[in-house]
Amino acid sequence: MKISTYIHIPFCKTRCTYCDFCSYPNVPAHRRLAYAGDVCREALFYAANLPPHEVGTVYFGGGTPSLMPAAGLWKMLATLREHMNLAPDAEITLEANPDSVTPQACDGWLGMGINRLSLGIQAVQDDMLRTLGRAHTHAQSQAALHCAQQAGFANVSMDGMVGLPGQSMAMWQDTLDFLAQADHVSCYTLEVHADTPLGCAVAQGLALPNEDDTADMMLEAHQRLAARGFTHYEVSNFAKEGGQSRHNMGYWARLPYIGLGAGAHGFLPTQVSLPMPHDPLHVPQNCLRTVHRFPPTLRVNCSTPHGNSPASRVDAPALYGDSPALHAYRYENIGDLTTYAEAVAQTGHGRKTTDPVTPEDAIKETVMLALRTHVGLELAAFERDFGKSPITDAQHARWVKEGICQPTPDRLALTPKGFLINNAVISAVWDNLGL
């Protein structure tokens, strides 16, 4: 079984004003190193309990993974190599904040096999970075990019944000021109959470760009980055030739992954449900079946873009056949560092919740995740797996004419214009399927 591994490193220098991620500021180095030990113990649990597997991608996300001392990163990767059959050509990504990128750090990361660096740039205006509570300046972003490229990272990704307070198109264009120096760019829309300092400021009147302005900024990203040789391969992601994130492509294709660390999420086929005490999903050995296709640590919320009450749910296996793609579960680890460490010490893993993906939600996820990518939904494969076409020929032709879909008869794939209204398209497809 091919599998991906997400490792959550929940440490940050300070707390950004918009952040609602699982992260802890000012954790001393010895505790960060001890945490690496907890993650290794959890990895050993999965190594012992998963069927034969190969780890094709590893993603250190955060938090700020670049704050993990090199010895901790090295130890986690050594554990994956020794015990989890880490592929020799594995894509290994480290998220880094620009202020923690130095020539020495880059050399160390490359030396331990990390081959993809993802820099959290967000904006190129120092005022804006201060509003966001970021710990870095634009000069540090420039230095970090230079360091990473000089050190020899073949794939450098940079993140930018739209919808920021006081952000104009000209400011976004300046940010895009900087981001375009990378191999891969992610553009995210600011999400405002009420219980954050930024959320409070917005509630007290801080103005944000409206939806139309934000949509225009995303279209500008498409045009400006396309002109610099980027393919818009997912709603929020752009890559130069060969620069696509293999790890994230796995999420969108619903491939299995394990999540290690505090607050991490995982997604596994039910067939590889692990023998945990009180695990309601544990399947006895004689019920195991061959997994032939498994299309992600996305928190997939199938109540959006529009939700059905449980009472209106259809009997998905009866309607759509019994594809293995229907049978999976997602889990979430405990977020509190101490409780996570205690759980790992006692049980081997840090799971807080384990939730089966209902067959109906599996189909919804398949549609929702595929339609985020420029490849889209393969119509024949979908019909084979789920016994029903997601779209009529007439509707497909109309969406092509309206510029929402690409003119690909074998696939339902959105255009950049379609990406902007992908929730509405997803809802329409779910309606077609009676979901």
DSSP 156: E
Q: What is the per-residue binding string for ligand SF4 in 19-48, x denoting contact by CB under 6 A?
A: x-x-x-------------------------
Separation CA 283–CA 255 (nearest Å): 20
Nearer to ligand SF4, 263 or 390 (CB): 263
Nearer to ligand SF4, 15 or 417 (CB): 15
Q: How far is the CB of 161 from ligand SF4 (least distance, A)?
A: 10
How are the residues of the chain apportioned to helix, strand and coil, as percentages rounded to the nearest 5?
A: 45, 20, 35
Nearer to ligand SF4, 19 or 39 (CB): 19
DSSP string, 115-148: -EEEEEEE-S-HHHHHHHT-S--HHHHHHHHHHH
Report the DSSP pairing between strands 2-9 and 257-260: parallel
Q: Does residue number 15 form part of the binding site for ligand SF4 (CB under 6 A)?
A: yes
Nearer to ligand SF4, 27 or 426 (CB): 27
Q: What is the per-residue binding string for ligand SF4 in 50-89, x denoting contact by CB under 6 A?
A: ------------xxx-------------------------
Nearer to ligand SF4, 90 or 96 (CB): 96
Q: What is the per-residue binding string for ligand SF4 in 91-110, x denoting contact by CB under 6 A?
A: ------x-------------
Nearer to ligand SF4, 16 or 255 (CB): 16
Q: Indicate if the alpha-carbon torsion angle 185, 264, 135, 17 is positive or negative.
A: positive
Site for ligand SF4 in 117-136 (CB under 6 A): 120
The beta strand positions in 44-163, using DSSP E, are 54-62, 86-96, 116-122, 155-162
Separation CA 113–CA 301 (nearest Å): 34
Nearer to ligand SF4, 23 or 297 (CB): 23
Kindly give, in sequence order, each residue whose CB lies less than 8 Å from that of residue 350, ignoring residues fewer than 6 positions away: 38, 42, 260, 261, 262, 264, 333, 334, 340, 343, 344
Separation CA 183–CA 240 (nearest Å): 5
Site for ligand SF4 in 150-169 (CB under 6 A): none
Q: How far is the CB of 94 from ligand SF4 (least distance, A)?
A: 14
Neighbour tally for 76: CB within 10 Å: 25
Q: Three-state DSSP class for 45?
A: helix
Member of 16, 80, 221, 426 binding ligand SF4 (CB under 6 A): 16
**Looking at 11-19, 338-346, 390-398, 405-413, which segment touches ligand SF4 (CB under 6 A)?**
11-19
Q: Give the binding site for ligand SF4 (CB under 6 A).
A: 12, 15-16, 19, 21, 23, 62-64, 97, 120
